[in-house]
Amino acid sequence: MNINNILSLLGDSEISKIGEQAGIEKDKVNTALQGALPTIISALKGNADSKIGQKQLDNALERDHDGSLLDNLAGFLDNPKQGNGKGILKHALGSRRTGVENILSSKTGVSSNSMSKILEIAAPLVMSYLGKQKKQEGLDGGGIGNLLSNLFNSNAQSSEDPADNGLDIGDIASMFINNRKGGIGGFIQGFLGR
């Protein structure tokens, strides 16, 4: 299981809509998403490395992200603000958001402004994907943590393969994995008291 599971949910029309929302050409959308999705997964995995983080993420999925967004992708992409991507990123990336956007911009060749919009669309997609997996597989907080670890590890392995189009976001991942400062604490607090 890897980020391609999430990317495979997006057909040509969805990719086009994301491009329109972000103000970029359709052919740049996949590249931008290959940076955005693993970045969000890394931030969430950093949170889920603790028991309390797993519990808070589990509660957030139970309460706000049951996967139904994926059943109406066209509606979501017509009005991405309904997914609260900005709120998810505030909690997941914290004060590091601008820095993350700048790094992803340089790796993908997509402007920081457009990358910001891509991240705001990608965050609800990731949360909905996790929520759907939680529901289908009956996962608890530990199960969600394992799912995030699998997603993170499969992306880390594929980005080491030069034949793979995945972007190496190791520098971004290191901001969140095994690091208890900054955005991760904000992520836990944010889901508690949004």
182 Ramachandran zone, left/alpha/beta (phi>0; psi -120 to 50): left
> Distance from first CA to last CA of the chain, Å, rounded?
31
Per-residue model confidence (pLDDT) at position 80: 94
Smallest CA-to-CA distance from 7 within 151, 187, 174, 147 is with 151
- For the segment 1-19, the average pLDDT, to the nearest whole number, is 87
Q: Structurally, how many domains does the chain consist of?
A: 1
Query: Whole domain around residue 173: which residue ranges?
Result: 3-193
| Structure tokens belonging to residue 117 | 């919009």
What average pLDDT does range 31-42 have in this prediction?
Answer: 92
Taking a C-beta distance cutoff of 8 angstroms, is the pair 140, 59 a contact? no
**What is the structure's pLDDT at 182?**
40
Count other C-beta atoms under 10 Å from residue 14's C-beta: 17
**Complete DSSP assignment for 107-175:** HHT--HHHHHHHHHHHHHHHHHHHHHHHHHHT--HHHHHHHHHHHHHHHHHHHT-TTS-----HHHHHH
Q: Residues, the chain, total? A: 194
Q: Is pLDDT of 151 > 50?
A: yes
Residues 6+ apart with CB under 8 A from 79: none
Residue-wise pLDDT tens digits, 43-76 = 898 878 888 888 889 988 998 898 999 999 999 9
Contacts of 97 (CB under 8 A, 6+ apart): 89, 90, 116, 119, 183
56: tokens are: 């808070």
Residue 94 CB partners (closer than 8 Å, separation 6+): 182, 183, 184, 185, 186, 187
Instruction: Dump pLDDT digits (tens) for 108-134.
Output: 999 999 999 999 999 999 999 999 999
Q: Are 32 and 110 in contact (CB under 8 A)?
A: yes
Question: Does residue 157 have a pLDDT over 60?
Answer: yes
Pair of tokens at residue 167:
């972007």
Whole-model pTM: value is 0.83
